[in-house]
């Protein structure tokens, strides 16, 4: 490729424009983005699966095949995931789970400081 072809190449122009921002990318932010994107996909799949299970159980309940105590099910589920023991799922519970997940996902990662930013970006914009 001739030098003048390189100067007119769109990809080269884009890379030159993002060079100051690309230098700020770290390994931690890149794997954070990938982890956030994966978490979003997995979360959506689990939501669909959970919805299908609920529809099946509720349909069986409506048809009289089973009887479900939804209040007891809710109380049991909340008690299993409520880490601060207040009997409710709150932001403080989410913060505890986030800190646990972040500790696992950033263990021994060089430049893990950008992980959270990358994770949130991947979760939001993917």
Q: Is 59 within 8 Å of 50 (Cβ atoms)? A: no
Residue 23 above 90 pLDDT? Answer: no
| Residue 2 pLDDT | 54
The per-residue pLDDT for range 78-104, each reduced to its tens digit, is: 999 999 888 888 999 999 999 999 999
The per-residue pLDDT for range 5-21, each reduced to its tens digit, is: 556 688 888 877 777 66
Q: Is 84 within 8 Å of 96 (Cβ atoms)? A: yes
Residue 29 above 90 pLDDT? Answer: no
DSSP 69: -
CA–CA separation, 77 and 54 (whole Å) = 14
């Amino acid at each position: 490729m001739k030098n003048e072809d390189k100067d007119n190449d769109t990809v080269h122009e884009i890379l030159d424009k993002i060079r100051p921002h690309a230098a700020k990318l770290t390994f931690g932010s890149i794997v954070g983005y990938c982890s956030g994107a994966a978490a979003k996909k997995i979360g959506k799949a689990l939501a669909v699966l959970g919805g299908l299970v609920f529809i099946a159980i509720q349909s069986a309940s409506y048809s009289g095949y089973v009887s479900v105590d939804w209040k007891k099910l809710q109380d049991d589920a909340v008690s299993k995931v409520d880490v601060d023991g207040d009997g409710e799922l709150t932001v403080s519970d989410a913060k505890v789970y986030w800190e646990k997940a972040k500790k696992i996902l950033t263990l021994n990662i060089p430049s893990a400081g950008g992980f959270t930013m990358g994770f949130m970006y991947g979760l939001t914009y993917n």
